[in-house]
Amino acid sequence: MTLYGDCLFTTRLHLKRPTREDLLLIADWSHSPEACGPYLSCENLDPEQLYDQLKSGAMWNDKEKRFIICRNGLPIGSIRYWTPCGQLNTAMISVKVAVPSHRGKGFGTEAQKFLIKHLMENENIHQIHMYTDINNTSQQRCLRKLGFEAKEALRYHDQNLLRDGLLFILTLENFRRQPIYRYHNE
């Protein structure tokens, strides 16, 4: 993994800072049930509001960054992290592999793994939280593989839809004990 300016490179992926040209795609994905899949609700983002966020730095600053996940130069999804208010050394991460033909191939796991590695080693993050739908067993398996522990079952509102889910947490101590971050650079 290498971070160069606004990009994070892994063996198979390129995570890049969104540009104005990416905003329509982000908006399209946010309106598409196919892109969101069965476990994410459509956010119905407005391209103009996204442009305002891009211009103001709301998509890319010290507390939040959104990346476009690219495979062989083509966008396949997005991943973002943010620091919850009042929790300086904690990050929340959300990931979406928006192109269905790219799901189940390890791209989401790879993007999460290398973003987590970057955050823990370079951004003074000591704890990462991720929420997942109770039925999203693929993501739960991925999070356990990455060293997360299920901490809480909860019910939450996701775009006016009531969902049952799990909160997974990875601490810095557990991150340091996980061989996947030390010995597996692919």
> Each residue of 34-57: pLDDT tens digit?
999 999 999 999 999 999 999 999
For the chain, give the number of residues: 186
80-126 pLDDT tens trace: 999 999 998 999 999 999 999 999 999 999 999 999 999 999 999 99
Tokens of 143: 């999070």
For the domain covering 2-182, report its CATH number. Answer: 3.40.630.30
The torsion angles phi and psi of 97, rounded to 5 degrees, stand at -90, 100
Distances 78 to 10, 15, 151, 179, 183 between C-alpha atoms, Å: 15, 8, 25, 26, 25
Give the containing element (helix H, strand E) for 139.
Answer: helix 137-145
- The position carrying tokens 């959300």 is 94
Instruction: Give residue 156's pLDDT band: very low, low, confident or very high (50, 70, 90).
Output: confident
Query: What rounded mean pLDDT belongs to the chain?
Result: 94
Q: pTM for this one?
A: 0.94
Closest by CA to 74, choosing from 36, 22, 28, is 22
